[in-house]
Structure 1
Amino acid sequence: MVAAAAATAVVCVSPPAFAATWTVTPGGAVTGTAGTTTLKDVNTGATLTCSSSTTNATVQSGSGLSGTAIATVTNASFNSCKGPLGIRFNVTNNAVSYQLNANSYSAGVTSGTLDNITATLSGPLCSASVGGTTSTTPGSVTGTYTNATHTLSVSGGNLHVWNVSGCFGLLNSGDAVSYTANYVLSPAMTITSP
């Protein structure tokens, strides 16, 4: 379950605040497993539902971490995916390198974004690509990681479908889509920030 950052020069008239630092234990290789996973066209309501999905990622370890790319997803797979009318779809990801960026922390829950998301959908008489706000940029979703349940939940963001071929008007190029899944991580990770 990936990022581009823009830097702006400013003139500081007061001392800058210290950036948040993060601690992760144990870090290392991790597998995320989700049950029902959905991709819904916000404009038409058409929903692609997968019975499950899995990810493999590498998580940073230690203290004093910046939160940027605190985890990198290196593989994502989606299983038994069906669209409207029960039509089966394949969801593929090429050169997966989604980045999880931690932004804030409260009561055992880390909030952030999963950036650099791209995918391809293909089914009978319907195909499309998934990305960000243009056909050539990757997308992003919001996410929370809860220490108590070691679950990464993703939703929202700026995903859109592009390069739509066929699909009977159920998907249209430029439509916003929402991606929803809850990944239980194994081994469990603990992420904290002062």
Structure 2
Amino acid sequence: MRKLSTLTRTGLVAGSAVVAAVAFAAAPANAAGTWTVSGGGSFTGKSTNSTLTDTSTGTQLKCTSSSAGGSAANGTGLSGTNIGTISSVTWSGCSGPLGITFNVTADGLPWHLNAVSYSGGVTTGTLTGVKAHIGGFGCTASFAGASSTATATLDVKYNNSTHVLSLLGTGNLHAYGVSGTCLGLINSGDPASYKGDYTLTPATLSITSP
């Protein structure tokens, strides 16, 4: 089997899930007392388009499926901070070119959802506390925030009509501790992005703000 390091920089495709805030990370959550959550409680989310990208090299990692579990407490007059929690995330079907498979694991759970702005039934905000690890075929790497010990912040949006929580592919995610055949395709310190659309079940959660 060809070593992973001989592949082209754009050829790598393996999952992630992992799990993601340039625009929103710098912005504080909306003023205290402006948010309402209804139809909340425990939920699960399923994504079939999870993609992690090393934005420096263009290397992409993909998974066919990612599942998340979390909760959001009902209430009015809430601050946007920690308006919801992601307590579990798993990925499956993570593979690269030539059938190379990867395992992806989430670290630093629980992760926290924070609301920043609201318009037309859509809440934009951040997912904070994010860390993850990938490993497979002699390639390992961890993903965190501004440093290897700091958690990452990813930009998100939630649509009340579709009940889809989308990770937008922006934030301050970076790769660290890259080793083996990943080198050159993913490098320590490289910025990274994570995108995925998670459809929530039950389809009842609504987040609003005047």
Q: Which residue of structure 2 lines up, in the alignment, with residue 178 of structure 1?
A: 193
Tell me if the contact between 2:107 and 2:130 (Cα under 8 Å) persists in the aligned partners: no
What do the CA deviations read for 1:46-103 (whole angstroms, capped 9, x no partner)? 1111001010001121111111111110000011112344321100123511100000
Q: CA deviation at 1:168?
A: 3.8
RMSD: 2.0
Q: Secondary structure of 1:149's partner?
A: coil
**Contact persistence 2:31–2:79 (CA under 8 A):** no
Q: Which structure 2 residues correspond to residues 28-107 of structure 1 after superposition, within 5 A?
A: 28-107=41-120
Cα deviation, residue 2, structure 1: 8.0
% identical equivalent positions: 49
Residue 108, structure 1, aligned to residue 125, structure 2: no
Per the alignment, residue 23 of structure 1 pairs with 36
Distance 1:53 1:42 in 2: 21
Aligned residues: 183
Counterpart of 2:91, as a letter, is F
Tell me if 1:191 matches 2:207.
Answer: yes
The 5 Å alignment of 1:106-145 reads: 106-145=119-158
Q: Could you say what secondary structure the match of 1:88 adopts? A: coil
Gaps of 5+ in 2: 1-18
Corresponding position of 1:12: none
TM-score w.r.t. structure 2 length?
0.82
SS at match of 1:91: strand
Q: Is the 8 A contact 1:2 1:98 kept in 2?
A: no
CA displacement, residues 125-180 of structure 1 (integer Å, 9 cap, x when unaligned): 10010101111101111000001101011021110110001114111000111100
Aligned counterpart, 1:154: 167
State the distance in 2 between where 1:158 and 1:95 align. Answer: 16
Does the Cα contact within 8 Å between 1:2 and 1:100 map onto a contact in 2?
no
CA shift for structure 1 position 21: 1.3
Q: Distance in 1 between matches of 2:83 and 2:48?
A: 24
The answer to whether the Cα contact below 8 Å between 1:46 and 1:84 also exists between their aligned partners in 2 is no
Higher relative contact order (CA 8 A, sep 6+): 2
- The gaps in structure 1 that reach 5 residues or longer are 7-16
Q: Please say if residues 81 and 88 of structure 1, whose CA atoms lie closer than 8 Å, have aligned partners that are also in contact.
A: yes
